A = this chain, B = another copy of it.
């Protein structure tokens, strides 16, 4: 219901919407009775907004569902993350700037080391440099060919990661990973989960076999492991759905990939989070919607570094006044999922949210944190409704019905 309605009600306007997304923002107390990372952090700017504006908790996919970064961001942007379920292969290809066409099948590759028995001895091939990665990709591009009727592309990502894309008629993407996910095991053979993907499974296996031959003389990166096969289907853009010209200011490929998938323009990669905020000011009036992504909060959570996550949040708080000076009609501060440092991983816990606008109804919270947001005006709600709320608070939605 609410995924459809805003499409018809959205209106052109000069009102700007800004989403500041701290990856993995939500957390948990490290010790029983303690505070979460966000509750511990000294965040005077976000506290002030929580006191005077609307706040709540968002559930990214559904109760108890731990989202990957793709579904988390799709939900933030108003796309039902279950309906628009994209695979990592597609995200990775978009992230490196590859121009996917409808029907392309993408997959993420790891360069890996096989021992003399053909077993994986290093799933990351000793983490090659990005230069080394490029050399290996060039080698694959030169030596590995797909059968007639199929085009094959290899693209470097970072370190041990690369992307492969197949293009051709009637390709299927219901394919199993070849990455055994543990060292000491042999790479798996690819197989099809549905009949439409059977021919593609054969093609991919031939391509992988040919790649292993091409890399046989490499001392470390003598194999590739594939995971996350996914077909690319064009999504309706933010502009088609919400009349929003959007730009993404993000420093990591994956988040740039999601933004591109929804038709956002990509700002050149800033060199720091401060640079991201400066970038926001550069072309503030050229876009209706600005997505700014901050990675460090999640990284410290994944590291299990509670104090580091606290500091990463505090660093973002210092950037808030510069965003406020731009006077966005609606400013959203939230995350794409929780990453409690105690869990060292994504989790399903709802993510705290501030929605600041002259039209937000304040609930009188004391500050920005999980427990306070629980009492906020917006309650706990599915993240896919956030865009509707942001559009409403920015005055970009018409009334429904007479």
Give A residues with C-beta under 8 Å from B: 1-2, 4-6, 9, 28-29, 32-33, 36, 52, 57, 61-71, 80-82, 85-88, 91, 228, 343, 346-350, 359, 361-364, 370-371, 374-375, 377-381, 385-386, 388-393, 397-402
Closest to A90 in B: B402
| Known contacts A81-B401, A228-B402, A402-B70: A385-B32 contact under CB 8 Å | no
Residues of B close to A385: CB separation below 8 A = 62-64
Number of copies: 2
Question: Does B66 contact A52, Cβ atoms closer than 8 Å?
Answer: no
Residues of B close to A397: CB separation below 8 A = 64-66, 348
Question: Does B68 contact A400, Cβ atoms closer than 8 Å?
Answer: yes
Residues of B close to A364: CB separation below 8 A = 371
Question: Does B349 contact A361, Cβ atoms closer than 8 Å?
Answer: yes
Cα(A6)–Cα(B66), bound, Å: 10
Question: Does B62 contact A2, Cβ atoms closer than 8 Å?
Answer: yes
A interface, over-half SS? loop
Knowing that A61-B401, A378-B380 touch, tell me 15 more A-B residue pairs with CB under 8 angstroms: A1-B82, A36-B361, A63-B389, A64-B385, A64-B393, A66-B398, A66-B400, A67-B399, A67-B401, A69-B401, A69-B402, A81-B401, A347-B392, A371-B377, A380-B381
Question: Does A28 contact B402, Cβ atoms closer than 8 Å?
Answer: no
Cα(A5)–Cα(B68), bound, Å: 14
Contact partner of A391 among B36, B57, B64, B350, CB < 8 A? Answer: B64
Residues of B close to A65: CB separation below 8 A = 2, 5-6, 9, 388, 392, 397, 400
Cα(A4)–Cα(B348), bound, Å: 17
Contact partner of A359 among B70, B343, B359, CB < 8 A? Answer: B343
Residues of B close to A36: CB separation below 8 A = 361
| Known contacts A63-B385, A385-B63: A401-B363 contact under CB 8 Å | no
CB of A170 to closest CB in B, whole Å: 24
Residues of B close to A228: CB separation below 8 A = 402
